Amino acid sequence: MIRLALAASILLLALAPLRAEGRCASKTPASNAATARIVFDEILSKGLIEENERIYHPDFVARGLRRDVGRAEDRAAAAGWRQMAPDLKMTPLRVVADCNLVAVHWEGTGTNTGEGNGFPATGRSIRVWGMTFFRFEDGKIREEWTSFDRYEFLSQLGLIGE
């Protein structure tokens, strides 16, 4: 948890100069926060994958641990999570918005009854927490960084030692 808080702090400091550019309209943070909630409430929880086209920037990049991916691959990953856990529920616990940046602390629950994103069906339930940071451009999600405890996730699935 300390590593997660440290990573979040470093990310906010790294992105702070973007706020100084003065591109923040008065209603932008609330609008961006509402859009970020769509990712969790509509795309991931309800499986409305097509919402990706409406809320993600054409040049979207998801910044990953090992590599970055574009909009099409990110959309496929969202569909993969739904295949892996058809009852997936992604709940935004806290949403904080500041100009073109939105931070979401979330909880994900579901039952791994299908194959998806390279994971076999295990029949096990999962409950994980994580954080996602979004950067908006022109009212759409332009960049995304997500962090969660992958070891705990794999352990709950029974794919590594418990």
What backbone phi and psi angles, to 5 degrees, belong to 82? -70, -35
Q: Does domain 28-157 have CATH number 3.40.570.10?
A: no
Bridge partners of residue 63, in order along the sequence: 145
CA gap 94, 141 in Å, rounded? 18
Q: Tens place of pLDDT for every residue, the chain, 162 residues?
A: 555 444 555 555 455 544 445 567 657 999 999 999 999 999 999 999 999 999 999 999 999 988 999 999 999 999 999 999 999 999 999 999 999 999 999 999 999 999 999 999 999 999 999 999 999 999 999 999 999 999 999 999 999 976
User: What's the alpha-carbon Rg for the chain, to the nearest Å?
Assistant: 16
